[in-house]
Amino acid sequence: MCGRFTITVDLEDLRVYLEDHYDIHDLKTSFDLPRFNVAPGQDVITIINDGAKNRVGTLRWGLVPSFAKDEKIGYQMINAKAETLHEKPSFLPSFQTKRCVILADSFYEWKKTEKGKTPMRIQLASESIFPMAGLWSTFIREDGTKLHTCTIITTEANDLMKDIHERMPVILDEQAEKAWLNPRNKNLYELSAWLKPYDASKMKAYRVSSVVNMATNEHPDCIKPV
């Protein structure tokens, strides 16, 4: 699964990344950066394509389907398995028409050992920002206000992750991301084919302090190697 991640860049680094990768030049939103311990229920930086251009904004992490009876269900839907997106009523409508990517520069996972669970930080070898495949949805509350939410898609672990956890977020390469964000692409079979483990040779991992275990801990100590 993916239950915690980071995006430790500053606003200027994000601005440059958005210009280079998404042709987004007008950053209207001021994001809270850097983030060292992003947790479910919080706003995350996402990219969607409206059919004409890419757009950046925030969505609350934890998908709340449009037909949900209680928005608290979002805390149970922070991840969606790539293998079953087409089977789940909660995910299928978004899979068809509301796909997004969530930006991160690492994610945390807890490795089981004889002494308990050890937190690990997993990055690209380049230590750069990467796009995680996601779905989004809009829920309308009883008072008429709208809640926009998202979930991170996971897949089976690659060779690096197998020693840490059996699942990992889907990290998209440039070609896969372009297909994923294209709202005109209705070929779910083709889209599913992009939801695969990222190349392990292009990733790295290291142990971090248990301070990351508490979602309220939000400081650089979370990413320091142990």
Q: Indicate which residue of 2, 100, 150, 222 is catalytic.
A: 2
Respond yes or no: is residue 109 known to be catalytic.
yes
Tell me which of 12, 71, 87, 109 is the catalytic residue.
109
Q: Which has the closest alpha carbon to 172: 97, 101, 109?
A: 101
The residues carrying an active-site annotation are: 2, 109
